[in-house]
Chains A and B, each alone.
Chain A
Amino acid sequence: MTWGTDRVTVAYGSTTALQEVSVDLQPGQIAMVVGGDGAGKTTLCRTVVGLEEIAAGAVRRPPRTCFQPETSGVWADLTVLENLQFVAGGYQLPPEHSRARIGELLEVTGLASAADRLGRQLSGGMRQKLGVAMAVLSEPDLLVLDEPTTGLDPVSRLELWSFINRSAQEGRALLISTTYVDEAERGDVVVALDEGRVLASGSVKSIIDSMPGRLFAASESLGARSWHRGDGWRVWSPDGVDMPGATPAHPDLADVVIVAALLSETS
């Protein structure tokens, strides 16, 4: 059984927040939803967990689906331990199992020493780790995390990703939204969104392979289809024709997403 959405459309009045968006992920897979602000990432996450009314399409989710909202979902007035205990109670985990699971998660996330600290007293990284721990506590089949790493320092991001990977290895399907394209490359499946529409989707390799035309590297901008990358420029040739003053380059996911956005603009 795979989870996700089938051509889902979500509208707020006359504004279409998602237009025929499909995501497909299997147990043990990580699906990354990547896009800029207003792309529809949060709406997609909320739709998958059942918080948004859909105008068309269908959602496939297992009975045990857990969610970490963008705000981390941590209760600020409860301690780390109380947050976890509340979630365990909400999912009616047997007390023995709950105690063991909470102890395990506190250790894995490195939050054991902060167990008695209030949610509001945690750093951003700790709060996000606690949020993910709360979401994963009941051992869901599908875990939806809305921008769990936004605003985190590089070390906290790495720690959180180690925890996320562990969850996937345990057989869970994860749908994670992010604004960072490099982070999206960690996914087995990537869905790039722009203004509620899918720009590209599939595995990182298939998305890169599907890029039409050719990509070139240049030392300066060569027109409207150029963008800055690292210490140089990338230039996209839609018809694959060689670009004077530029050398062929291998595209990565970021390049392909930009090309998809350019294509979307012209169409």
Chain B
Amino acid sequence: MLAMIRKEFRQVTRDRRTLAMLIVMPVVLLLVFGYAASFDVDEIPTVVVGPQADQAAERLPDLFAVESVDPDETAGDAEQVLVAGDAHVAVVADSTGPTVLIDGAELFMAQAALQATTAMQAQVPNLSVEVLFNPDLDTSAVLVPGLAGLIIVFVGTLVTSMSVVREREAGTMEQLAVMPFKPKDVFVGKIAPYFLIASIDIVIVLLIGTLLFDVPFNGPVLPLALGAVMFLFVALGLGVLISSVSENQAQAIQLALMTVLPQVMLSGIIFPLSSMAAGVRWIGYLLPLTYFNQVAKGVMIRGAGLGDLLVPIGLLVLLGSVIFGLAVVRFSGQLRPAREKVTA
């Protein structure tokens, strides 16, 4: 038995990368997720509009982080700010009495805002409160758009990386390199099935979400489709990049999980970004799922249009261009590394 244990230890210590992952990554993950795992909402981005906006803004509790006060804007303007996701509470202080509009797409913020406004109603009896987009604060409505993103990450990153590494392990990648394919032919051919499968998966998830769990689909399809395609490019690019630095499928799985886990925890799907410690929150802002989640939630729950989602879609395009571009360069380089003098 001792011989068996000794042999196992030798094997484990020989794979330095796995060993590092087994020892260092839990510590890193615990620290990162420890600071991220919080449902406590300390502040809610808020806009205040209407003729009495200044007075209303002064009387708001600290929970509401007032980002703008504009007496000239109307309830319609305020609602548009919430649709775009630029703030999650809007206070309309006009002649009909103060109204608090709460963004129901951000579950924990909405719950905190509701709690705070209920307390405020004791001092301001004519204060009316309205939860927009997801009035019942339905959990599945908030989670399903993010789940669609998670499926893209799973298929795009994990499965693609394994598929490319498998091809290399089997020695068939060398065949492809010698055949008269251009690297881009192999690249596109390799990822095309996963692109299609992930696209079908998204449609299935969203159909089940809307038909079975009554998740609303309030906005136009186009921005969501655009965001999904861009996000899919990022995920597929990540998959190919991971495969390019992995020697075998086990390493590819480990690395892929290292990109999937932070996206699950830090993209705002489960824990609100505003509840996270500032340093951890910035990691969230670097993750593509954060922006897909904003697009999906924006379209499905808030009914946002393309114009409202230009920032997250633009960032997905940027991330997609960088990551996909890097993946193409690395893949092409690895497929035909030789630069030798050849006489035909």
Report A's interface with B, CB cutoff 8 A.
Answer: 46-47, 49-54, 57-63, 65-67, 69-76, 87, 90-92, 134
**A-B pairs under 8 A by CB, number:** 75
Does the CB pair A58–B170 fall under 8 Å?
Answer: no
Residue of B nearest to A65 (CB): B178
Closest residue of B by beta carbon distance from A87: B179
A124 → chain B, closest Cβ, in Å?
14
**Residue B343, interface by CB 8 Å:** yes
The 10 closest A-B pairs by CB, nearest first: A71-B171, A54-B340, A58-B341, A73-B175, A67-B178, A69-B171, A90-B179, A60-B343, A50-B338, A69-B174
Main secondary structure of the interface of A (DSSP, over half): loop
16 more A-B residue pairs beyond the given contacts A69-B172, A76-B170, with a C-beta to C-beta distance below 8 A: A47-B340, A50-B340, A51-B174, A51-B337, A53-B337, A53-B338, A54-B338, A54-B340, A59-B340, A59-B341, A60-B343, A62-B344, A65-B178, A71-B172, A72-B171, A92-B180
> Is B178 a contact partner of A66 (Cβ separation < 8 A)?
yes
Interface size on B, as a range, is 20 to 34
Whether the pair B174, A73 counts as a contact (CB closer than 8 A) is yes
| Chain B facing A: main interface SS | loop
Q: Would you call B171 and A61 a contact (CB within 8 A)?
A: no
Q: Quick one: closest A residue to B177, CB to CB? A: A51
Which residues of B are found within 8 Å of A90, using beta-carbon distances? Answer: 176, 179-181
Q: Which residues of A contact B336 (CB under 8 A)?
A: 50-51
Could you say which of B175, B181, B339, B342 has the most chain A C-beta atoms within 10 Å of its C-beta? B175
Would A69 and B175 be within 8 Å (CB), given that A50-B336, A50-B338 are in contact? yes
Closest partner residue, chain B, to A49 (CB atom): B178
> Given that A51-B337, A69-B171, A73-B171 are known contacts, is A61 also in contact with B342, CB under 8 Å in the complex?
yes
Contacts of A91 in B (CB 8 A): 179-180
Which residues between 302 and 344 of chain B lie within 8 Å of chain A, taking CB atoms?
Answer: 336-344
Question: How long is the Cα–Cα vector from A67 to B167 in the complex, in angstroms?
Answer: 16
B190 shortest CB reach to chain A, Å: 13
